[in-house]
Amino acid sequence: MKLQIEQRQRESVVILDLKGQLTKGDEDLSLLKGLLLLLDSGCREVIVNLQEVSSIDASGLATLAFCATRVQDVGGRVVFLNPRRTDRPGADILEPDSGLEIYQEELDAVNSFFPDRVVPRFDILEFVQNRKERGAQLRVGSAAPNLPRNSDHQ
């Protein structure tokens, strides 16, 4: 399948959604040309979404590395998102030691361009435990209070 590249923006970050094969030839050249056009237009913050990339060869990997280096050379940054292989679920297209910056979640990739941004983190176990404790306190506190006996009502 020929490589398709869709461009979108989230906040000030350009996201390139790739779909198909990233292999030697027209595919890796189209990615390289697209990224160079972004650089020429002044774009310096790019996420390359690899979720729909079905396969990648050594030339495609070299193109990704070159793109990251080229953007870095002009003061920008490229990160990679969802490097999953569709032919082998659970396997990554990019190896962990590839030297490329990789994220599994789009929000994390976008937030990586804003180092001062505080992202709230929630611990689901702590949340559940707190709800249980509050529920127990409400049940104990909801027992009918002992009212003083009024001699008029006897």
| 139 vs 17, more confident | 17
Share of the chain above pLDDT 90, in %: 51
User: Cα angle vertex 120, ends 18, 92, to 5°?
Assistant: 30
| Residue 118 dihedral angles phi and psi, to the nearest 5° | -95, 120
Residues near 52 by Cβ (< 8 Å), separated by ≥ 6? 17, 18, 19, 20, 86
Query: How many C-alpha atoms does 52 have within 13 Å on its Cβ side?
Result: 11
The packing angle between helices 58-73 and 26-40, to 10°, is 10
Give 30-82 pLDDT, tens digit per residue: 999 999 999 999 999 999 999 999 888 889 989 998 999 999 999 999 999 98
* Alpha helices in 20-150, H assignment, sequence order: 26-40, 58-73, 106-111, 124-141
pTM of this structure: 0.70
Q: Which amino acid is at 100?
A: L
Is it true that domain 4-141 has CATH number 3.40.50.300? Answer: no
Percent of the chain with pLDDT over 70: 75
Question: Can you tell me the mean pLDDT for 115-125?
Answer: 74
Residue 56 token pair:
């990648």
Radius of gyration of the chain (CA): 26
